[in-house]
Amino acid sequence: MKALRHVASDRLLPQARIAGPMPWVIAIMIALTVIAAGAGLGLRNLTQSARNEIAGGITVQIVEGRPAERERQVQAALSLLDELDGVAEVRRVPDEELKALLEPWLGPQAASAEDALPVPAIIDVKLAGSVTEKQLKDLRATIVSSAPSARVDAQARWLQPVFDAAASLQWLAVGLIVLLAGTSAAAVWLAARSALGSNHETIEIVHLLGGTDAQIARIFQRSVAFDAALGGLAGLALGLAAVLLLGKQFAALGSGMVAGGGLGPVDWAVLALIPVIGLALAILTARLTVLAVLRQIL
């Protein structure tokens, strides 16, 4: 019976379209939201992946100009690290790797010549868990006691400014999404008010014949839902195309760090949910707008 009542009330009036450009406005908003959300999720994944990778990472540099002494301190530090609890992995960065790292700045000859700028030896250490300040301090004290020229730093510290920048960009994405949602709601609000204005006479008749606010609001909700669904699907297609294209562009950079910024199945599901949320927001906005206007008449 309730379903029949809905059918009856849905046929109160012919489908009242809210406004011509409404699906396009919603499509653009949804596309921009999908792109902003895609970028935010990608950045989150990227920083998370980078954080995981270097969470337990410590770099030990032996900054000693005399090669023999440097080698002695490297060996001392290595044997010490091998015996320490909580150390998962210790790797001395090979000289060739260091040379390759320095080559772009110092040139091939400067980096390999015997009398070239002394290059510190580097030991890459992975702890079983994340590095705490206390662990770092204790480790530093232990290593320096055997290798006085050692400098011990957590790898996360080097990348902290990058993480901070990425976090700012993520907040920017969240801010953009909130702004876009607000703008979409405002657009629907304006369109609903305009539609109410142009259908004022009809609404008053239905109202005087005993139509409830909910019945009248449903007419507009239905119209907005149609426009929002149409615009949402178009916007999702447009947004996903842009995200895929940007993803391909970044993947082509071949950077290990950027590779961590790929989207997972859950992320794609979140992007697919955006038009659904947009639809719900549009319907809610239309309903509240119509009800607020109707409450002004007896």
Partner 1 sequence: MSAGEGSIVQFDNVGLRYGTEREVLSDIAFTLYPGSFYFLTGASGAGKTSLLKLLYLAQRPSRGVIRMFGTDVITVPRNRLPEFRRRIGVVFQDFRLVPDLSAFDNVALPLRVSGVPENEIRKPVADMLQWVGLEQRADARPASLSGGEQQRVAIARAVIARPEILVADEPTGNVDPEMAVKLLRLFEALNRLGTTVVVATHDVHLLKKVPDSLIMRLDRGRLSDPTGALRYPPRRETVGQ
Applying CB under 8 A, which residues contact partner 1?
1, 4-5, 7-9, 11-14, 201-202, 204-206, 208-213, 215, 295, 298
Strands 87-92 and 57-62: unpaired
Task: Tell me the closest approach of the beta carbon of residue 21 to partner 1, in angstroms.
Answer: 21
Using the minimum distance from each CB to partner 1, give the nearer residue, 50 or 216. Answer: 216
Task: Tell me the closest approach of the beta carbon of residue 210 to partner 1, in angstroms.
Answer: 3
* The pair of three-digit structure tokens given for residue 105, joined into one six-digit string: 């700045």
Choose among 178, 177, 172, 167: nearest CA to 44: 167
Task: Tell me the closest approach of the beta carbon of residue 205 to partner 1, in angstroms.
Answer: 5
Using the minimum distance from each CB to partner 1, give the nearer residue, 198 or 249. Answer: 198
Place of tokens 């659904």: 276
Pairwise CA distance, residues 132 & 154, whole Å: 9
Using the minimum distance from each CB to partner 1, give the nearer residue, 12 or 102. Answer: 12
Residues 193 and 293: beta-carbon distance below 8 Å: yes
Using the minimum distance from each CB to partner 1, give the nearer residue, 205 or 273. Answer: 205
Find the length of the chain. Answer: 298
Residues 78 and 66: beta-carbon distance below 8 Å: no
CA pseudo-torsion sign 242, 244, 245, 251: positive
Report residue 55: phi and psi, to 5°: -55, -45
Using the minimum distance from each CB to partner 1, give the nearer residue, 1 or 252. Answer: 1
Pairwise CA distance, residues 183 & 190, whole Å: 10
Residues 6+ apart with CB under 8 A from 218: 9, 10
Neighbours of 91 (CB within 10 A): 11
Task: Tell me the closest approach of the beta carbon of residue 194 to partner 1, in angstroms.
Answer: 17
* The pair of three-digit structure tokens given for residue 279, joined into one six-digit string: 């639809």
Task: Tell me the closest approach of the beta carbon of residue 225 to partner 1, in angstroms.
Answer: 20
> What is the Cβ-side half-sphere exposure of residue 183, based on CA atoms within 13 angstroms?
14
Using the minimum distance from each CB to partner 1, give the nearer residue, 17 or 157. Answer: 17
* The pair of three-digit structure tokens given for residue 21, joined into one six-digit string: 């450009």
Task: Tell me the closest approach of the beta carbon of residue 178 to partner 1, in angstroms.
Answer: 33
Using the minimum distance from each CB to partner 1, give the nearer residue, 19 or 77. Answer: 19
Pairwise CA distance, residues 160 & 28, whole Å: 35
Using the minimum distance from each CB to partner 1, give the nearer residue, 19 or 159. Answer: 19
Task: Tell me the closest approach of the beta carbon of residue 273 to partner 1, in angstroms.
Answer: 34
Task: Tell me the closest approach of the beta carbon of residue 33 to partner 1, in angstroms.
Answer: 34
